Amino acid sequence: MSDRNQTSELEIIAHRGYSAIAPENTLPAFARAIVAGADSIELDVQLSADGIPMVFHDITLERIAGIPDRLDDLTREQLARFDVGTWFDPQFSDARIPTLAEVLDILQSLKKSIYLDVKPHCTWSNEDIDRLLELLDDRGGLARYVICSFSSAFLDRTRFVSEAVKLGYSIKNNQTYPPQFARAVADGNSVTICEYRVFLENPALVAASRDRGVEPVVWTVDDLRDWHQLIDIGFRRIITNALLPTALDRKSIH
């Protein structure tokens, strides 16, 4: 992670782009996040059947496109046929599942970092990880990125391939916090990506995490009361669907 991310200023991270006003993980959502002043972007990555990194969250296309097929059973060419915008609003009927390369190309003006949530349900070979890292290095350098996952096995393999890239150990609840935090500490070049209520219930974890050299990041915060509580206990990096800078300005929140 670059030095600019080691400051105490708040880093607002757009979850799947500006997903409150555009369909998640699409080019319109990412473009709107930049316009709205997002510092950083979080997005989901998985492989198509022909090994192309695609930006999409779910295992299947059912929720977004009404198609029961798994994404990793379809090629990039097949995936390009599906409308992934109408479910959100018919004005986005032209939206398609983007490749990671397409998304990174429109995020070059982003101020800070890109957090890649690599989905654990598809299989990544070491060669796939190598190609992913080459793509990231070509699009701004590895220091711009954090590779995140709930799969510690995937993160271990990523670390085996590259000592340089920062990792994000994803945490969903109080039960999974201790082992994932311990892995982040042991790695030495990591953050935690944690469901925010874990820290609201245990505020002392913020300072304890930093004392061990691990910066905590929280998801997904859309309630202003929770937002303020997190800032009050010392949070600097917050993932949100809706509370991007332009929305906060309209609410006169500073």
What is the average pLDDT score of the chain?
95
**Sign of torsion, CA 29 107 157 169?**
negative
pLDDT digits (tens, 9 = 90+) for 61-87: 999 999 999 999 999 999 999 999 999
pLDDT digits (tens, 9 = 90+) for 174-191: 999 999 999 999 999 999
Cα separation, 60 vs 97, in Å, equals: 12
**pLDDT value at position 1?**
36
**pLDDT value at position 36?**
97
Q: Which fold has domain 3-250?
A: TIM Barrel (3.20.20)
**pLDDT value at position 247?**
84
Average pLDDT over residues 23-44: 98
- List CB contacts of 252: < 8 A, sequence separation 6 or more: none
Closest CA to 71 of 83, 80, 59: 59
Give the DSSP H/E element, type plus range, for residue 70: strand 67-70
Residue 253 has pLDDT above 60, yes or no: no
How many angstroms separate the Cα of 187 from the Cα of each of 3, 153, 190? 19, 13, 6
**pLDDT value at position 134?**
98
The predicted model scores a pTM of 0.95
Give residue 203's pLDDT band: very low, low, confident or very high (50, 70, 90).
very high
Q: Check: CB of residue 147 under 8 Å from CB of residue 158.
A: yes
